[in-house]
Amino acid sequence: MSILLLVPPGWGGLWQSPLSVGGRKVYAHGVDPYDPAEIVYAVSFRPPPGLLKSLPNLKAVFSLGAGVDGFLLDPDFPKDKPLIRFVDETLSREMAQFAVLHVLMQHRTVAHFAAAQAESTWRQRMLPRPTEETRVGILGLGEIGTVCAERLRDMGFPVTGWSRTRKSVEGVKSYAGAGELDTFLAGCDFLVCVLPLTPDTRHILNTETFARLPKGAYVINIARGGHVNEPDLIAAIDYGHLSGATLDVFETEPLPETSPIWKHPKIIVTPHVAAITSPTAATRSILSGIATIERGEEPKNVVDMTRGY
């Protein structure tokens, strides 16, 4: 029952030893020689295209991240094998912390006071808008989006959410489907994107979408870089329709040094750190999933290949 780790160079040690519990052999791809026929389970963020197809006795694939778009980009991904998402309370909580942090930074005008401090100036000001009148929209009400919505709701913000299907979250108005997207967007002073990346959601944040937001809206993307049409975002900010954005994820990562996003005065850049997978939690989840499969039972959090999440 051997496991293959397909992770960036130097990362194998984070998971190799914990996953070896019970005498399992755990190979780090690119480091350890292995026989493809020996591999029963694969663990990865974004495996090399075609590699998973080369494992003849593969039973299941485990994602080390909340998103699985890196797997679905592989045209040869063995779709008859279960692909299991990583769902973890800690990951969801930290993503929500990041969303709350950046909503509050803008809502409480942190940049204004930082500039005043730099000038040694006592510059008081009221909130631009009362909290109870500052509307936050969560684009994607899955596990992570729900926690984001609940945390912001509990701080007194009116919170709405949009997803493919109707959701039920206490105190959060749910919008669903393409027919309700425009209505949802019109009520977002802050828009937090936590959608899965699928062909339907790629570049969902574009010129048309931004135009549906109220003037002065602020965009926060903690999902995938492919959700944002980056030139459209810059244009919407420069034209004055959007007040700014926080981006934790990008079309190309690392973000190229030549990208205008780096130096844009109204965009906050963080390097894909809204939440980072805990090796301890991931190991626990993987071992639990393997045990479930070996008992002949259906594992939790299997990706629906027709939806892409």
Tell me, yes or no, if 224 is annotated catalytic.
yes
Tell me, yes or no, if 212 is annotated catalytic.
no
The amino acid occupying position 207 is: T
| DSSP string for the chain | -EEEEE-STT-HHHHHHHHTTTT--EEETTTS---GGGEEEEEESSPPTTTGGG-TT--EEEESSS--HHHHT-TT--TTS-EE----HHHHHHHHHHHHHHHHHHHTTHHHHHHHHHTT-------SS-GGG--EEEE--SHHHHHHHHHHHHTT--EEEEESS---BTTEEEEESGGGHHHHHHT-SEEEE-----TTTTT-BSHHHHHHSPTTEEEEE-S-GGGB-HHHHHHHHHTTSEEEEEES--SSSSPPTT-TTTT-TTEEE--S-S----HHHHHHHHHHHHHHHHTTPPPSSB--TTTT-
How far apart CA 104 and CA 158 sit, in angstroms, is 14
The candidate with the shortest Cα–Cα distance to 130, out of 152, 114, 108, 111, is 108
Kindly name the residue from 107, 151, 224, 227 that is annotated as catalytic: 224
Sheet containing strand 83-84, edge to edge, reads: 26-28, 2-6, 39-44, 60-63, 83-84
Kindly name the residue from 24, 272, 295, 307 that is annotated as catalytic: 272
Would you please indicate which residues are annotated as catalytic (active-site) residues?
A: 224, 272
